[in-house]
Amino acid sequence: MNILLLDDEYLALNLLETYIRRLVEEGRDIRLVDKVKHPLKALEILEQEHIDILFLDIQMPNLSGIAFLKNIHIDPVTVFTTAYSEHAIEAFDLNVVDYLVKPIAFERFVQALHKATNAVLAKQKKIEPVSSAPTSLSTSAASGFISVVADGKFIKIALADILFCEAAKEYVILHTLQGNIMTLERMKRMEELLPTPEFVRVHRSYIVASDKVKSLEGSMLNVAGQMIPVSRELREQIIAKIFRA
């Protein structure tokens, strides 16, 4: 994913550049093409280079980010950045995928980049995101797999390979027979997409594959050799769903 930063403040540009470099070091498939202060320079880059994602400041002298976006014929997936929130409605009328209010925390930047990446992939595949807040997940019960966005690409995961799902702040870690995959998603969304009774929510932070459960020992489930905590209030339901089905 090629990224361009446009902001009239060097501090803001340098902060986002630091975030991008950090993600690149972690293996994220993204590239910072340039960081610029002037809209005309940004326009020149947009005409010469393929830019997938544009992080665009709204409050700039002479030409606002909103005016800039309205007047270019190129349409990169755009995330607005600003110190003010009053332009949020107008920003989303321009189909930007996210709106970041400064100072921008790293976790919030990662969320915005995730949404932008998902939107780019949707454009490339000529599919529409399922909602105004693009999700990283899709599922096909008939095909027996789910697709997640991780490291800027779609990954197909067979339902039969999933051992359990674990909440990790803004992420969900899918523990599979082939290894772990981290995706920016919510457990509630994962619970909605994984079929039942094949998958059971056993704790606010865990969803397990029923057929991978070996035993229940007190308040801990043995799932393929890993011990998963069980919520006290869900224990009887879990026994009924997994051991008496």
pLDDT of residue 66: 85
pLDDT of residue 128: 43
CATH number of the domain that 81 lies in?
A: 3.40.50.2300
- Same domain? For 149 and 93 the reply is no
Helices 10-25 and 106-124: crossing angle in degrees, nearest 10, is: 70
Asked if 139 and 126 touch (Cβ cutoff 8 Å), the reply is: no
Domain boundary among 98, 124, 150: 124
> Does residue 40 belong to any structural domain of this protein?
yes
> Does residue 130 belong to any structural domain of this protein?
no
- Among all chains, which residue has been given the structure tokens 């779609």? 154
- Same domain? For 99 and 160 the reply is no
Task: Give the residue numbers spanning the domain of 32.
Answer: 2-124
pLDDT of residue 30: 94
| pLDDT per residue of the chain (245 residues) written in tens, 0 to 9 | 999 999 999 999 999 999 999 999 988 889 999 999 998 899 889 988 999 999 999 888 877 888 888 878 788 999 999 887 665 556 556 778 888 988 999 999 999 999 999 888 887 765 444 443 444 555 554 568 887 777 656 688 899 999 999 998 768 899 999 999 988 777 887 888 888 889 999 999 999 999 999 999 989 999 999 999 999 888 999 999 998 86
pLDDT of residue 229: 94
Say if strands 220-223 and 213-217 run parallel, antiparallel, or are unpaired.
Answer: antiparallel
Three-state DSSP string of the chain: CEEEEECCCHHHHHHHHHHHHHHHHCCCCCEEEEEECCHHHHHHHHHHCCCCEEEEECCCCCCCHHHHHHCCCCCCEEEEEECCCCCHHHHHHCCCCEEEECCCCHHHHHHHHHHHHHHHHHHHCCCCCCCCCCCCEEEECCCCEEEEEECCEEEEEEHHHEEEEEEECCEEEEEECCEEEEECCCHHHHHHHCCCCCEEEEECCEEEEHHHEEEEECCEEEECCEEEECCHHHHHHHHHHHHCC
pTM beyond 0.75, yes or no = no
Three-state DSSP string of 150-205: ECCEEEEEEHHHEEEEEEECCEEEEEECCEEEEECCCHHHHHHHCCCCCEEEEECC
- Same domain? For 85 and 161 the reply is no
> Does residue 13 belong to any structural domain of this protein?
yes
- Same domain? For 63 and 176 the reply is no
- Same domain? For 50 and 80 the reply is yes
- Same domain? For 103 and 9 the reply is yes
- Same domain? For 143 and 236 the reply is yes
Distances in whole angstroms, Cα of residue 54 to Cα of each of 6, 7, 31, 243: 8, 11, 12, 51
- Same domain? For 177 and 111 the reply is no
Domain boundary among 102, 124, 146: 124
CATH number of the domain that 239 lies in?
A: 2.40.50.1020
The domain total for the chain is: 2
- Same domain? For 84 and 149 the reply is no
> Does residue 81 belong to any structural domain of this protein?
yes
- Same domain? For 102 and 44 the reply is yes
> Does residue 129 belong to any structural domain of this protein?
no
- Same domain? For 15 and 44 the reply is yes
